[in-house]
Structure 1
Amino acid sequence: MNAEQTLFQAAATGSVSMAKTACAAGARPSAIGPGGATALHIAAAQGHSHVAEFLLAGGADPNVQDGFGRTPLHEAAFVRSKSPQTWETLIAHGADPHGPRDRDGRTPEALAMTLDYGKALNNLIEHNAQRVARGLEPTLGR
């Protein structure tokens, strides 16, 4: 297994230590795998917020789109029981909940609303409240 394969395995299993080893061996946090997914997509889809944090700190793009047009935040919407911390981590690192659309035309925000994932949606509402507190225009529901 090469370093990037090890990184993808680390993202899938939630192993930060394996991710560190893979990057030390030359894996890039932004490496693109099959289907255009990055290790960050995989970590987000599995709800592995600690691996996501490590990848983001290493330069992974929180708004990168895979072959389906999904960002890591789209992926986090599908795993509601695991995603609250992952949502927070991705948004804290610049993931745009109302930004990139997937091939079906859905933003991460719209996907969360469609799936009726209360916790994920509450995180988006909190993100919007923080924007208002900083004097920025509210964007939820646009």
Structure 2
Amino acid sequence: MSTQVRRRGCLTAMGLTLAGLSLAPVVNAQIAPTGSESAAYRGLHLAAARGDVPGLQRLLAAGADVNARDGHGRTPLHVATFARQHASLRALAQGGAELGALEKDRYDAVTIAAVADDEDTLRVLLALGASARQITSRYDGTALIAAAHLGHDGAVRQLILAGAPIDHVNNLHWTAVIESIVLGHGGARHQETLRALIQAGANLHIADSHGRTPLQLAQQRGFRTMERMLTQAGAR
């Protein structure tokens, strides 16, 4: 049986079999503004992308819609997040921007920063009051699951501290723990991601839709270090 998982930089086709897991990278899911879109921006979207705080403040004072949408449903806050414009983020938040707004693919700014491995921008967003608890993406996941998938261990630790739901199960029946195993390569950053989740008290017994536990998945993929970590933490 095959399940398709799409997130930043890859569409992973997962064939879960008794023999093992077959992974094949394909296309992008989280869509940053294209060059042509950026060139067409005006008003708040343009000022947000450029980090033009005086421009943002003038436009907001004149009544511009702080949550205006571009063709992909991105608000100025989304654009500022993609552009890593921290001053823009602060000005938009001060101007009443919806920090949890979702664009067309149901990504919020927190998930965008986590997927980009942009710890500085993530830190700014969380300090401004953006939530780590939102359900995002077509997979009904979270920023934590997305970060765990990619092995963005620093973002994972930030999101845990910010109260992300550690044991949330997405509509593929995967948790952050499971995604750190089945969608990674078993390397150092995915190991650190799993370590952070274990230390935070993640439930290590939630199985995938085929009944496979995280320990069984790590064994199946040949990730011996992850297998030891899970066994030492009491996983079965």
TM superposition score category, shorter chain reference: 0.7 to 0.9
- Tell me if structure 2 keeps the 8 A contact 1:73–1:90: yes
What's the TM-score, normalizing by structure 2? 0.50
- Structure ID, larger Rg: 2
Structure 1 pair 63/124, CA: closer, same or farther in 2 (3 Å)? Answer: farther
Structure 1 pair 46/128, CA: closer, same or farther in 2 (3 Å)? Answer: same
Partner of 1:46: 116
> Higher relative contact order by CA 8 Å / sep ≥ 6: 1 or 2?
1
For residue 171 of structure 2, the aligned residue among 103, 107, 112 is 103
For 1:107 and 1:62, the matched residues in 2 are separated by 15
State how many pairs are aligned: 133
Identical-pair percentage: 20
Query: Following TM superposition, by how much is the alpha carbon of 1:84 offset from its aligned partner in structure 2, in angstroms?
Result: 2.3
Helix, strand or coil for the counterpart of 2:132? Answer: coil
What's the TM-score, normalizing by structure 1? 0.77
Q: Deviations for 1:30-69, whole angstroms, at most 9, x for unmatched residues? A: 2222232211111111111122122222322212112321
Q: Deviations for 1:48-97, whole angstroms, at most 9, x for unmatched residues? A: 112212222232221211232110012213433xx222111111111233
RMSD: 2.3
Q: By percentage of residues, which structure has more helix?
A: 1
1:70 maps onto 2:70 in alignment: no
Q: By percentage of residues, which structure has more strand?
A: 2
For 1:92 and 1:43, the matched residues in 2 are separated by 16
Gaps of 5+ in 1: 132-137
Gaps of 5+ in 2: 1-44, 46-64, 68-74, 207-236
1:55 maps onto 2:125 in alignment: yes
- Tell me if structure 2 keeps the 8 A contact 1:63–1:100: no
